[in-house]
Amino acid sequence: MHVDMDAFFASVALRHRPELWDVPVIVGGEHRSVVLAANYPARRLGISSGMPAVRARRLVPGLVTVPPDYDAFRTVSAGVFAIFDSITSRVERGSIEEAFLDVTGSTRRLGSPTEIGELIRATVADEQKITCSVGIGPTRFVAKVASRQAKPDGLVEVAPDRVADFLHPLLVEELWGIGRSTADSLNRLGVRTVADLAAIPKTVLQHAFGPRYGAMLADLAWGRDGRRVTLGAREHSTGAQETFAVDTADPRIIERELLRMAGRVAHRLRKAEQLARTVSITIRYSDFSTVTRSAALPTPSDVTSELHEVAVRLFAKLARRGKRIRRVGVRGEGMVPARRTYRQPLLTEPEHGWRDLEFAMDEAGAKFGSGAVQRLALVRRPVGTAAGFGSDTGDEQGPRPFLGGSSAQGGAAEPARQ
């Protein structure tokens, strides 16, 4: 069984905004950023995720933009996967919004595969207020293609003896594993449907596409897939990145954004009860060249200042004088469980340090909103006032990242995240 949430990011963003359900909406997409997600009315007008926001607005004048809420995305995803775990212990996470489930052992307890699929759809809709599509088949590949055919908000089951009947009328580009370039190559050979593909001998496909990929295409045409649901997959890293509204070469602005990104990464690590052993940074310059550097932490950490210290050190080694920067990113890698990892304290450390403070900040944020408590260095600094003090009016010194919604600090705005 393959279960896929329908337009997940957009659906979560619009759960409590029914007035926008039938209106073209994108998530993210402020200024120079890209579209994080689009709802189905927007998709029908040609908008897709990854599209530049400027292009999306030219395509659909009056397009509604809503800011992303990453805490809500993670909370809803966790709720959805809790539903999966109540159905079967054999769950393979595909992403934050999809999973493969082996429900073979659940049929005696919960009924037929179709009944289980409908139970999942109903429970997700009731508990999380979003919809999902379910594909059921004898293999992972068939289940994945079936869930695509079920979208949005549907269920398609393919019986083992009906696989060819299901697949062969489809266009080759509808198959999971066939990208646009491969579909174009097949079209040039006169292959437009899966039935056309199934009629070509494997040796011919191997000659045209190579031994391994040609054999895979031959198997896909008949729904053959020997892979099983893989258990125990988990995330090994977490990160955050920011695109500036105006390219900048000012190291103070860049280091401040590295602090903001390190804070988001540290918060996500604490929420996942993980520590990072390595910090990496990504810098994209105004000419779109991108470099990545990483370094190990002295001890695994989920503390903002410790991650930021390494990030700044990495940036200092990269700095190219006068070269303007478009985007910065921070990532915590080599994640290990916090409960099973010993952090060596220093003799100079107080009994309660930054880590305790950040847990308190997390609690305040959960109760009053993510902007309830902020570091002074990240509060807007109007011209003519001391850092973090004075009114929130006037021009700000230096370029700012995208603004993506109000925070709880005197109207200060938090940058939109990609």
- Binding-site residues for Mg(2+): 4
Taking a C-beta distance cutoff of 8 angstroms, is the pair 258, 265 a contact?
no
Helix axes 251-271, 354-368, angle to 10 degrees: 80
Q: How far apart are CA 285 and CA 264, in angstroms?
A: 22
Instruction: Encode the chain in three state secondary structure.
Output: CEEEECCHHHHHHCCCCHHHCCCCEEEECCCCCEEEEECHHHHCCCCCCCCEHHHHHHHCCCCEEECCCHHHHHHHHHHHHHHHHHHCCCEEEEECCEEEECCHHHHHHHCCHHHHHHHHHHHHHHHHCCCEEEEECCCHHHHHHHHHHHCCCCEEECCHHHHHHHHCCCEHHHCCCCCHHHHHHHHHCCCCEHHHHHCCCHHHHHHHHCHHHHHHHHHHCCCCCCCCCCCCCCCCEEEEEEEEEEEECCHHHHHHHHHHHHHHHHHHHHHCCEEEEEEEEEEEECCCCEEEEEEEEEEEECCHHHHHHHHHHHHHHHCCCCCCEEEEEEEEECCEEHHHCCCCCCCCCCCCCHHHHHHHHHHHHHHHCCCCCCCHHHCCCECCCCCCCCCCCCCECCCCECCCCECCCCCCECCCCC
- Cite the annotated binding site by residue number: 4
Residue 98 is among the residues annotated as catalytic for this protein: yes
Cα angle value 159/163/164 (rounded, 5°): 150
Name the one residue in this structure whose structure tokens are 């909406």.
25
Q: How far apart are CA 33 and CA 40, in angstroms?
A: 20
Closest CA to 397 of 406, 387, 405, 407: 387
Selecting among 30, 97, 98, 358, the annotated active-site residue is 98
Active site residues: 98
